Amino acid sequence: MFRRIKGQEQPVELLSKAIENDRIAQAYLFHGCDGIGKFMSALYFGMAVNCVAINQLKPCGICPSCHKFLNLEHPDFVYIFPTPNLELSLDGEIKKAEARKQYEEYLQNKIKSPWQEFFFKESTEIRKENISYLAKRLELSIHEAKYRIVIIENADLMNQATANAFLKTLEEPPPNTIIMLITERLQMILPTILSRTQPIFFRPLTRRVIEDILIDQFEIGETTAKTAAKISAGNLKTAIRIASESDSIIRNWAFDILDKADKQDDLGFGTLMDKYKEQQKKDQISDLLKYVRILAADITELVMNPESDITNVDRLEYLQNTANNSKLSEDKLYDFLLFLEDLNRKIQGNANLGLVMINLYIKLKNLLHGKA
């Protein structure tokens, strides 16, 4: 199953060699941007060292051990991730009913559609109670695995007290236990934790790799796959989400805004705000900005050269007409892209999403008509 992890040949080879040479570290730190295979690599590594298949490449994905890992229910697997306050007992019991429901929904999302973002209703972090529970689990004997596996996702979301408590566990881990930390923000990990782990860097995926995954594994059309790969900035999760929604939501939304901006139809834009009310959330607006960026680039390409090879080739006639009527230039496009980056930063900083949408429409309208 390691072969299913595309574009990360170096980390996969390192982990495979560790198994082959029986030189498995007790603690690893997988770092790199989101959506590039860090969690699946950690899970498959845990599966591989415990796979009971004979004469097959490991992990096989079908033996009882692999099956339990894939369903996140192996008795020797501990999975920790940022959550709201669960009021977690040392035995792993979640005392808050609503928190338990959200926790289970998160796990089901992770199993069935890990590329979909899941948002808890309250703020999340890795809490000291999680580490206390982990310490209690590590005191127990291993049930059936060769190696007990611990995965701590978004490890940078430990607060100071949690990190210090975890450090004690990391300094003296029990035998036959592999601890894997996952983070996008290496700089937020305590140096004392860094020094006790083997870091493995995961690179952003190339557009070609993402295109191939979307086409081969998700049966996405070539045009949509190409667009999603270009927008995703190396993040497979983003690409899958965009490609899956492109025909029904995000893509139509971007083209609708472009159409209203081109026609300077302010009342029509107000109608769009109501039409896409349910989509006006941080992650979806962030995806929308990326799509608008590609549309603006396509139009600029067509202004400069009508024979250009654009991303949205299936909408060539519409975009060519828009280009013929616009006053776009490379300089104006550059300024617009900077504007989109600034909008995205504001979204992450909890700006008013309605105002973000209005500013986007006004800027795009002015851009197309030579006023910006």
Q: What is the pLDDT of residues 232-279, one digit of tens each?
A: 778 898 888 778 765 568 888 999 999 999 999 999 999 999 999 988
Residue with tokens 């060769």: 146
**Stretch 141-169: mean pLDDT, rounded?**
94
Residue 352 pLDDT greater than 70, yes or no: yes
Q: Determine the Cα–Cα distance for residues 47 and 41; give it in Å rounded to an integer.
A: 10
β-bridge partners, 245: none
**pLDDT at res. 209:** 94
Mean pLDDT, all residues of the chain: 90
**pLDDT at res. 122:** 85
Nearest to 43 by CA among 22, 14, 68, 63: 68
Right CATH for 2-82+125-201 from 3.30.470.20, 3.20.20.370, 1.10.3720.10, 3.40.50.300 = 3.40.50.300
Nearest to 181 by CA among 165, 164, 197: 197
Q: Determine the Cα–Cα distance for residues 242 and 185; give it in Å rounded to an integer.
A: 24
129-140 residue pLDDT tens: 999 999 999 999
Percent of the chain's residues with pLDDT above 90: 60
* Residue with more model confidence, 291 or 133: 133
User: CB neighbours of 324 closer than 8 A, spacing ≥ 6?
Assistant: none
**pLDDT at res. 290:** 85
**pLDDT at res. 372:** 58
Q: Between β-strands 77-80 and 148-152, what pairing exists: parallel, antiparallel or unpaired?
A: parallel
**pLDDT at res. 12:** 95
**pLDDT at res. 38:** 96
**Stretch 145-159: mean pLDDT, rounded?**
96
Q: Determine the Cα–Cα distance for residues 45 and 8; give it in Å rounded to an integer.
A: 13
Q: Determine the Cα–Cα distance for residues 203 and 56; give it in Å rounded to an integer.
A: 28
pLDDT band at 310 (very low <50, low <70, confident <90, very high): confident
Q: Determine the Cα–Cα distance for residues 109 and 285; give it in Å rounded to an integer.
A: 21
* Residue with more model confidence, 122 or 76: 76
Q: Where are the alpha helices (DSSP H) in the chain?
A: 9-20, 38-50, 64-70, 97-112, 128-139, 160-171, 191-194, 207-218, 222-231, 236-245, 250-263, 266-275, 282-304, 316-325, 330-348, 353-368
